[in-house]
Structure 1
Amino acid sequence: MKLGVKLFLPIFFVLFFTPQVFAKIVVVNSENWEDVYSGMLYAKLNNMEGYFLNSPNPEGILRILPKGHEILLIQSDKPFVSTLESILRSKGYEVTTKHVTDATIDLAPDTDTFYIVEKDRAVAALIAAPLAKMENAWVLIVDSENLPKITSMLGGKNVVLVGYFKRNIKSELDKYKTDEIIEPSKFKLSLKVADRFLKKHPTSQVIVTDGRNIEEEIFRGHSPLIIVGSNLLPEETMEWFKENKIKTCVVLGTQLTYVGERIRKASNKQIGVFIKYGQALPGSKIYALSMFPLPTPKIKLNVASVIYDPSTKQVFITFKNSGNMGLFELTNFRILENGNEIASAGDEEAHFIGSGESLVVSYKVSIPASKLNKKLTVEFFTSYGESPDSLDMYLTNIGKFGPPLTKELEVKSISDESLLNVTKVTYYEGYKRIGIEVTNLAKKPAYFIVKLPEIKVQGVPTPLHSEVSFISGDKKEVFISATLDPIDVKENSEVKVVIDYGEKKDLFVKSSEVILPLEVSSGFMPTGLFFYTGVGAGIGIVIIVIVLLLLKKKKRYGYGGGYKFRKKW
């Protein structure tokens, strides 16, 4: 098979990788990423070429499978195509099928070394793959369900934990570990694992990917894997390239062309950048790379509006998170007139925006009055991502790979007399909910949302937020679902709370931040209050019925007995 590659040099050309001929090849037929991952690692450890389905249509894989080879079909109990074996036989292939239920266990070889990653952190599995192949080791993908089976395999083995783990899983694995590479940032984790790789197998070449897809190059074991953003090259990554004298970067996929250009520019063209963009059999057409998408959350951010209020000399930027999970954003911007900068401002730290939430961030900016009747534009340099350490995406104009995003500046006055404050945070153990008490200092009706951007759940930083709530009285308590274990309660002894609010539901122009002690209650929550149970879960009313007291009262007056009460949540 040949692999199409573009090289960023003054002269552009195509480089063809031609692997050796294999008598047997592996085909993985599963909807589960962890089965595909384990199947590909199994193939490379056994010196076989590996292929996989990534859709219910087998035509794509049939185009690129080499003829005249015996196929080992690894098929899970959740295959893309249940009849794939017969289809392959009808095409003239000799097929042996191996059925798997949990491929990370079923395909595990007899090895001295296991690298272990958590299933919820698929990018850690990608990072560990080249190291495992180079050491002839195996990567075990663990979750709460297969944890007992996996721990039964670890006795007397060299066990290395990679990535980040929930506390209940890590506490069990700690009994067997001989080493660990623990790092919540996917960028820094890839560099730490690459350091380990280079100590055992020095090389000046690395593979570069955004960690969103499985691709066969990752499993060859000739180069460490470096994670970048989809349009972001972290500064520490570029420094690592220089410190380790990296000469060649193989970038997986044309979607990372912008990052490849950044590497060339930042290295003063001293690093050769190859973009792996296609695959083909000799003499055939070139097809797109086969990639299997990892379960990554949908992260989507846009700027809904940017307003300048001359009376307060403030710029109000409304960000909208239309993805399915919370994100962090960090913004710097310039205000331009005819391409000339007249003002600028930016953030010192990232802001958290919950799923489906809008956030208004204000900045002190002074624009001369003589400029306010001109056409003014704003250039945004906004990076965002899953955590403050993983701001791996930029807002860009349509059709552009890199920043800035350009918006027109609107000039108008904004009035808002609301004033809210967070006064108390309580964890209700019996109900697995965190209550946040909000005080209405201005006595004005207002809408608000509260956020816990740094709270830990099972030892893992897990930003939480409420839904949009309304307050008209003096106080209100809102609730967020969270299951904190005793260690979580200790680690969250003080909680950072952010409240965004305003008189208008769609324009939270005010925000405040406070750090409060986390109080713990093992009793009942206040009655008749709303609680939030998660995205899309809605609102419920807590109805507490003190059954024993009520029954005694009825019996005392001679008209009770025989009543049944049901708690309704």
Structure 2
Amino acid sequence: MNLKKLIIILFIFIAIPFVSGLEPEQIISNSADWQDVYSTMLYSELTGKSSYFLVSSRHSTLLIGQLSKSQKNTWVISSEKNPYVVSYKPVLESKGFAVEEFEYSNVNLEMARKIENITNFIVLDDSYGYNAISVAPYAVLTDSYVLFADRKNINLISNFLNTRQVESLLIYGQVDREVKERLSVFSPETINNGDRFLDNQAIVDKYQEKHIEVYGEPKTQVILTNGEFIEQEILSGVEPVVFIGRANVPDQVREYIKNSDIEIGILIGNELIGSATFIRRQLGISVFVKFAQSARTPSGPISAVEDLDRFYLPRYILSLDLYRVRYNKMNNQVYVTYQNNVALSSYLKGTITLRYEGETQTVGDSEPVFIDKNEYKTIVYDIDPVSAEQIRAEVFTIYGESRKSLEYTLRETVDVETVNILDNSEIEIVNVRYDRRKGEFLIDIKNTGNVDVFVDLELVDILINDELRTFGPEEVSFIEKGEVETIMVEVEMAEEDFENNPKVRLTAYYGERERNLVNVISGEYDYSFTGFGYLTGRLIKDIGGSAVTFGPIIIILLLLILIIGMKKKCPDCNEINSLRSKKCKRCGREI
């Protein structure tokens, strides 16, 4: 071996320890999972490193033009199962960067382990990605790491936290019951108002309190978004994030901004330009839109721009259509029927303006109305008699995922169909039970009218795991006249939920026609328990309580059965004989 080769080999062996212990100046996320991107970005902010993320395989080469040439030491945090680029390290090394690449199956937890001295934590469920965006600025400001926890991984999260000196723990938004139980030992603070806009405002308030404590004044500039994507500035912690809604600014958001110290809003992207324009015009704050960045590979004499790097989170898209509007001359009622196009329940609140022959009548909902997934819902309004042949309806309906999150809008102007409908259907809610084994309510409905009837049920505001929820059956039920039908509504409940719901509030929509359930009954009902496990337990309890009275009788009956059932076997022919037989009936031998 010549001297040149020996020097190269020695250099490699000397360099390996230094490369494996590389102190990063910039960190890149190489994953198609938003949780990995978020965790890597948050780690970078908490440790003072520059951070970047890939949004596609093609982006891996474009990103190199954005990396700082003065910061050579680079970490790549790659998803073990879902990276955009397999072995991204050689690509960066070919451009002169010193690179160490880590592959993890659980980036969120592994990045937490890398921050040795952190003592503040925020826990949330990654089913709700917008919650992670909401807490990000507060996490950076307070040096808190965000952990994703659910019933599947809570053991890992709990074990990790037990290795740390936890000074503060915040549970944000709705989490699984098991998560609350396991983390209760850390005496956590909780933010969960059952509404993402109210939760967001609560965390912004905490951000402002901390900002005043550190800097002596509140932050007057905020980021306006809806929590649907990760972007560099959102995770910087420089400003809090305020959710504003997609097409409609919910009432509680308007009031919050109006009564706050906010003077300037930075809108990231232009998808929410309608909501941002409303905020600027109606609430009086300045709004600036950040929608592009300088091109990473400029060409030509004019400086080009390109879209912002944004990593989109899974989004729940609601979709509501106006099915039809009818005016019933028989009872002077307007029937407005909506169709929910997706497998997600929502709430709606409509205003309907009727115009005819120069006259106007306006009706609407005083409270949001629940509409279940893939369902038709008819809402009935009483109006003054109308004799006009042609009626037009202007429908403006806001809707959203909860009563206070009505951020979508539906606007339509349609002709009103005039009908003469007499609905003679009548029903009675006879009995309500809960099946512990199957985890469902059983509601017995009797058709007390003279016609067949269609029925749709709602269990309204059931308090499950500290969250008010509304439940309904999978489909509308058909009940023949005089018959009783049991309608099943799946609701998983634990013991504490039964204590929180001693009664249930039921609303039944019914009518002679499936898409015109124009009658409503509602009320609170007691419920009993059923199900094999429950009934068996009750039987054992009842037998135990009556053992003194019936014990001797049971013993005598068992002895009689035993005696009657006993047989004699002949030793010669093996014939089975009655216990009372003295001789074998087959061979005649005495037995």
Q: Render the CA deviation track for 1:245-284: whole Å, top value 9, x for unaligned.
A: 21100112211111111111222x4x11012212234646
The answer for the alignment partner of 2:75 in structure 1 is 72
The answer for the alignment partner of 1:302 in structure 2 is 321
Contact 1:435/1:478 (8 A) holds in 2: yes
Report the CA distance shift for 1:222/1:90 in structure 2 as closer, same or farther (over 3 A): closer
Aligned-residue RMSD, C-alpha: 2.8
Shift of 1:296: 3.0
What secondary structure, in the 3-state scheme, does the structure 1 residue paired with 2:457 have?
strand
Contact 2:436/2:534 (8 A) holds in 1: no
Q: Supply the distance in 1 between the matched residues of 2:280 and 2:405 (Cα, whole angstroms).
A: 22
Shift of 1:114: 0.8
The answer for the alignment partner of 2:266 in structure 1 is 250
Report the CA distance shift for 1:278/1:484 in structure 2 as closer, same or farther (over 3 A): same
Q: Supply the distance in 1 between the matched residues of 2:75 and 2:311 (Cα, whole angstroms).
A: 19
* 1:102-501 mapped onto 2 (5 Å cutoff): 102-108=106-112, 109=115, 110-155=117-162, 156-157=165-166, 158-201=168-211, 202-267=218-283, 269=284, 271-281=285-295, 283=298, 285-337=304-356, 342-369=360-387, 372-374=388-390, 376-396=391-411, 405-466=412-473, 467-472=475-480, 473-501=482-510
The answer for the alignment partner of 1:16 in structure 2 is none
Shift of 1:55: 4.6
Give the one of 72, 81, 96 matched to 2:84: 81
What secondary structure, in the 3-state scheme, does the structure 2 residue paired with 1:150 have?
helix
Task: Output the amino acid matched with 1:37.
Answer: Y
Shift of 1:357: 0.6
Which protein has the larger Cα radius of gyration, Structure 1 or Structure 2? Answer: 2
Task: Output the amino acid matched with 1:28.
Answer: S
Contact 2:57/2:85 (8 A) holds in 1: no
Report the CA distance shift for 1:437/1:226 in structure 2 as closer, same or farther (over 3 A): same
Q: TM-score, normalised by structure 2?
A: 0.77
What secondary structure, in the 3-state scheme, does the structure 1 residue paired with 2:44 have?
helix
Shift of 1:464: 1.9
Shift of 1:81: 2.2
Q: Render the CA deviation track for 1:369-403: whole Å, top value 9, x for unaligned.
A: 1xx223x332222111111122221114xxxxxxx
Contact 2:328/2:421 (8 A) holds in 1: yes
Shift of 1:341: 6.1
Q: Render the CA deviation track for 1:286-328: whole Å, top value 9, x for unaligned.
A: 2223333323333111111111112211110111001121111
Task: Output the amino acid matched with 1:279.
Answer: Q
Give the one of 515, 520, 530 matched to 1:521: 530
Contact 1:51/1:61 (8 A) holds in 2: no
Task: Output the amino acid matched with 2:42.
Answer: L
Q: Render the CA deviation track for 1:427-459: whole Å, top value 9, x for unaligned.
A: 111222211111101142222222223223334
Q: Supply the distance in 2 between the matched residues of 1:93 and 1:408 (Cα, whole angstroms).
A: 68
Shift of 1:84: 5.6
Q: Render the CA deviation track for 1:442-497: whole Å, top value 9, x for unaligned.
A: 14222222222322333433332112222114211021233211111121221122
Contact 1:334/1:341 (8 A) holds in 2: no
Runs of 4+ in 1 over 6 A off after TM superposition: none
Shift of 1:520: 1.6
Task: Output the amino acid matched with 2:292.
Answer: G
Shift of 1:511: 2.7
Report the CA distance shift for 1:373/1:91 in structure 2 as closer, same or farther (over 3 A): farther
Report the CA distance shift for 1:121/1:278 in structure 2 as closer, same or farther (over 3 A): same
Shift of 1:178: 4.4
Shift of 1:193: 1.0
Contact 1:167/1:460 (8 A) holds in 2: no
Task: Output the amino acid matched with 2:186.
Answer: Y
Q: Supply the distance in 1 between the matched residues of 2:417 and 2:33 (Cα, whole angstroms).
A: 48
The answer for the alignment partner of 2:105 in structure 1 is 101
Q: Supply the distance in 2 between the matched residues of 1:274 and 1:367 (Cα, whole angstroms).
A: 50
Q: Supply the distance in 1 between the matched residues of 2:96 and 2:360 (Cα, whole angstroms).
A: 68
Task: Output the amino acid matched with 1:350.
Answer: P
**For structure 1, which segment, 216-225 or 238-247, has the greater mean C-alpha deviation from structure 2 after superposition?**
238-247
Contact 1:167/1:459 (8 A) holds in 2: no
Q: Supply the distance in 1 between the matched residues of 2:431 and 2:65 (Cα, whole angstroms).
A: 61
Contact 2:432/2:527 (8 A) holds in 1: yes
Q: Render the CA deviation track for 1:504-525: whole Å, top value 9, x for unaligned.
A: 2333233322221132224389
Task: Output the amino acid matched with 2:79.
Answer: S
1:510 aligns with 2:519: yes
Q: Render the CA deviation track for 1:16-47: whole Å, top value 9, x for unaligned.
A: xxxxxxx8433222232221211121122233
1:27 aligns with 2:28: yes
The answer for the alignment partner of 1:17 in structure 2 is none
The answer for the alignment partner of 1:51 in structure 2 is 52
Q: Supply the distance in 1 between the matched residues of 2:362 and 2:506 (Cα, whole angstroms).
A: 28
Contact 2:173/2:191 (8 A) holds in 1: yes
Q: TM-score, normalised by structure 1?
A: 0.80
Contact 2:335/2:518 (8 A) holds in 1: yes
Contact 1:423/1:439 (8 A) holds in 2: yes
Shift of 1:113: 0.8
Q: Supply the distance in 2 between the matched residues of 1:434 and 1:389 (Cα, whole angstroms).
A: 27
The answer for the alignment partner of 2:579 in structure 1 is none
Q: Supply the distance in 2 between the matched residues of 1:127 and 1:449 (Cα, whole angstroms).
A: 37
Q: Supply the distance in 2 between the matched residues of 1:60 and 1:425 (Cα, whole angstroms).
A: 63
Q: Supply the distance in 2 between the matched residues of 1:246 and 1:458 (Cα, whole angstroms).
A: 34
Contact 1:443/1:474 (8 A) holds in 2: no
Q: Supply the distance in 1 between the matched residues of 2:309 and 2:266 (Cα, whole angstroms).
A: 16
What secondary structure, in the 3-state scheme, does the structure 2 residue paired with 1:307 have?
strand
Report the CA distance shift for 1:506/1:483 in structure 2 as closer, same or farther (over 3 A): same
Q: Render the CA deviation track for 1:390-425: whole Å, top value 9, x for unaligned.
A: 2221114xxxxxxxx323322222333222232322
**For structure 1, which segment, 45-54 or 440-449, has the greater mean C-alpha deviation from structure 2 after superposition?**
45-54
Report the CA distance shift for 1:103/1:419 in structure 2 as closer, same or farther (over 3 A): same
Q: Supply the distance in 1 between the matched residues of 2:313 and 2:53 (Cα, whole angstroms).
A: 14
What secondary structure, in the 3-state scheme, does the structure 2 residue paired with 1:238 have?
helix
Shift of 1:152: 2.4
The answer for the alignment partner of 2:11 in structure 1 is none
Q: Supply the distance in 2 between the matched residues of 1:222 and 1:67 (Cα, whole angstroms).
A: 21
Contact 1:421/1:499 (8 A) holds in 2: no
What secondary structure, in the 3-state scheme, does the structure 1 residue paired with 2:520 have?
strand
Q: Which has the higher helix share?
A: 2
Q: Supply the distance in 2 between the matched residues of 1:452 and 1:224 (Cα, whole angstroms).
A: 37
Report the CA distance shift for 1:479/1:135 in structure 2 as closer, same or farther (over 3 A): same
Contact 1:435/1:477 (8 A) holds in 2: yes
Q: Supply the distance in 2 between the matched residues of 1:152 and 1:337 (Cα, whole angstroms).
A: 68
